[in-house]
Structure 1
Amino acid sequence: MKRDAYRILQATETVIYLFAGFLIAAGAAILLLTTLLEGVENLVAGRYHEVALTLLDRVLLALMLAEILYTLVRFAREGSLEATPFLIIGIIAAVRRVLVLTAEAVEKFDLSDPAFMAVLAELGLLALLVVAFALAIRLVKSLEGR
């Protein structure tokens, strides 16, 4: 009886992860489709900076969703979660923010603007975050090798 309940709970957990994976896949597909449509619209209107910024932001977001989906599929197959994919998602998210922030800052800020210092501080923190994630990945890989 106890073993059957455990199997039911395990199957339920797997179904939840798979359903979440389908939702993430659908969300990523919709995100890429709307990005393409908005990109064409902005391209025709001559808003090239907007095209580049939107593509950069949303494609990196889609990559984050793909990494989450990979993690969910792997969990459903193997039954265990790993830290490395989540650390990779963190790196992609930080790099995405750095790229979008710098692309936006080119038009909005100049050196005399006080908000420019806030942007520089955020960029510095994001750089530290990327280094911390990379070190964490290295640490996890070295612990897995033992």
Structure 2
Amino acid sequence: MRRDAFRILQGTETAIYLFAGFLIAAGAAVLLLSTLMEGVQHLLKGDYGEVVLGLLDRVLLALMLAEILYTLLRFAREGTLEATPFLIIGIIAAVRRVLVLTAEAVEKFDLADPAFMAVLAELGLLSLMVVAFALAIRLVRPAGGQ
């Protein structure tokens, strides 16, 4: 009886992770489709900067969702959770923010604007986060691993 209860709970846990995976996959598909439609609209209007910024932002978000989906599927298959995929998601998120922030800052800020210092501080912190995540990946992976 104990084994049956354990199997039921394990099956339930796997089902929850797989359902969450389907929702994430559907969300990523909708995100990419809406990005494509909005990109075409901005392209027809001649807003090329908006096209690039939207593509950059949303494609990197889709990559984050794909990495989360990979982690969920791997957990459902193997039953173990690893830190590396989450660290990779953190790197993608930080790089995404850096790219979007710099793309937006080029249009809005000049050196005389006080908000420029806030942008520089955020870029500095994001850069430190990327380095910290990379070091954490290096520490988490086995010595002979890839």
TM-score, normalised via structure 1 length = 0.97
Distance (whole Å) between structure 2 residues aligned to residue 3 and residue 56 of structure 1: 49
Distance (whole Å) between structure 1 residues aligned to residue 137 and residue 7 of structure 2: 33
Aligned length: 145
- Tell me what 2:136 maps to: 136
Q: Which runs of 5+ in 2 are unaligned?
A: none
Q: Give 4+ residue runs of structure 1 displaced > 6 Å after superposition.
A: none
Q: Where do 1:95-106 residues align within 5 Å?
A: 95-106=95-106
Question: 1:142 offset after TM fit, Å?
Answer: 3.1
Q: Which runs of 5+ in 1 are unaligned?
A: none
Task: Specify whether residues 6 and 143 from structure 1 end up closer, same or farther in structure 2 by C-alpha distance, changes over 3 A only.
Answer: farther
Q: Which moved more, 1:71-80 or 1:88-97?
A: 71-80
Q: Does 1:52 align with 2:41?
A: no
TM-score, normalised via structure 2 length = 0.97
Distance (whole Å) between structure 1 residues aligned to residue 11 and residue 52 of structure 2: 43
- Tell me what 1:117 maps to: 117
What is the root-mean-square deviation in Å for CA atoms of aligned residues? 1.1
State the identity as a percent: 83
Instruction: Map Cα deviations across residues 46-76 of structure 1 (whole Å, 9 max, x no partner).
Output: 0000000000000000000000000011111
Question: 1:143 offset after TM fit, Å?
Answer: 6.4
Q: Where do 1:70-109 residues align within 5 Å?
A: 70-109=70-109
User: Structure 1: which amino acid aligns with 2:52?
Assistant: A
